[in-house]
């Protein structure tokens, strides 16, 4: 979902190393995950809410494997690895206990992680981006054009389209809701000013009834997972 989003500032490697070392973020980043290439994904790739799966758009994956989307000097598997790196880093930063609690910032860190992998090959990240851009744009347009006939995963994390949505994002949100993607019905973290505050999520009536990961649960109101020691302005006392 988010690999193809090109709107946000890319963070530096020092900033990336700093945020990936904060509190539970390195443990989240180190978690194993599987890769699923059997669904339609609006921004080329994305994550499950619990971070156990990285999704790559099915058609785009075939385009990479068949050489229709290619980067000179990179194998198809390396292109997919770069996208996997982006998605998993984005999820770990967004859900972790660190300074990045909104999608635009988390996307910037994820792109830095993706570019570090590409640069270490070594491939120029700007040339890499130019080579993959058309394929990423096709994935988004294809998802919108397919509409109700598309097949997104029902556990897709929707923060990338809920936070700072543009016109296309709003169309995508409608499609995801129509397909029963639960996270699409929730609010963005920026909309509710999620972060440190006067109360804690663990004492809120909307805090989930079981841990998804240590310190992290689903919230009835906002997307993704929330830290038990965090807070948002919609906080209500648990009855």
pLDDT, residue 7, reads 59
Residues 179 and 198 in one domain: no
Residues 159 and 236 in one domain: no
Instruction: Show the domain range for 232.
Output: 187-239
Give yes or no for residue 110 having a pLDDT over 90.
yes
Mean pLDDT throughout 98-124?
94
Confidence band (pLDDT; 50, 70, 90) for 9? Answer: confident
**DSSP, res 56:** E
Contacts 24+ apart (CB under 8 A), 123-127: 123/71, 123/73, 123/74, 127/71, 127/72
Total domain count for the chain? 2
Residues 113 and 138 in one domain: yes
pLDDT, residue 239, reads 83
Q: HSE of 201 in the Cβ direction (CA atoms, 13 Å)?
A: 28
Residues 54 and 160 in one domain: yes
d(CA 16, CA 199): 29
* Cβ neighbours of 231 (radius 10 Å): 21
d(CA 48, CA 90): 12
Confidence band (pLDDT; 50, 70, 90) for 111? Answer: very high
| 2 within a domain of the structure (yes/no) | no
Query: Chain-wide mean pLDDT for the chain?
Result: 94
pLDDT tens-digit series, residues 120-170? 999 999 999 999 999 999 999 999 999 999 999 999 999 999 998 999 999
The Cα-based distances of 19 to 132, 163, 204, 216 in angstroms read 27, 20, 27, 18
Nearest alpha-carbon partner for 47 in 149, 152, 150 = 152
pLDDT, residue 6, reads 54
Residues 199 and 238 in one domain: yes
pLDDT tens-digit series, residues 171-196? 999 999 999 999 999 999 999 999 99
């Amino acid at each position: 979902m988010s690999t193809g989003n090109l709107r946000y500032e890319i963070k530096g490697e020092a900033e990336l190393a700093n945020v990936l070392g904060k509190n539970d973020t390195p443990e989240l980043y180190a978690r194993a995950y599987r890769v699923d290439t059997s669904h339609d994904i609006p921004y080329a790739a994305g994550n499950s809410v619990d971070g156990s799966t990285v999704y790559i758009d099915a058609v785009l994956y075939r385009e990479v494997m068949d050489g229709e989307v290619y980067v000179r000097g990179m194998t198809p598997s390396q292109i997919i690895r770069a996208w996997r790196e982006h998605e998993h880093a984005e999820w770990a930063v967004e859900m972790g206990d660190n300074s990045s609690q909104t999608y635009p910032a988390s996307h910037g860190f994820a792109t830095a992680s993706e570019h570090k992998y590409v640069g270490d090959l070594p491939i120029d990240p700007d040339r890499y981006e130019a080579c993959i851009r058309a394929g990423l744009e096709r994935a988004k347009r294809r998802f919108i054009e397919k509409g109700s006939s598309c097949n997104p995963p029902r556990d897709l994390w929707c923060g990338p389209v809920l936070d700072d949505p543009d016109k296309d994002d709003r169309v995508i949100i409608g499609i995801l809701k129509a397909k029963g993607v639960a996270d699409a019905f929730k609010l963005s973290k920026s909309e509710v000013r999620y972060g440190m505050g006067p109360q804690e999520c663990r004492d809120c009536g909307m805090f989930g009834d079981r841990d998804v990961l240590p310190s992290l649960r689903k919230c009835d109101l906002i997307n993704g997972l929330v830290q038990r020691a965090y807070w948002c302005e919609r906080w209500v006392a648990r009855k």
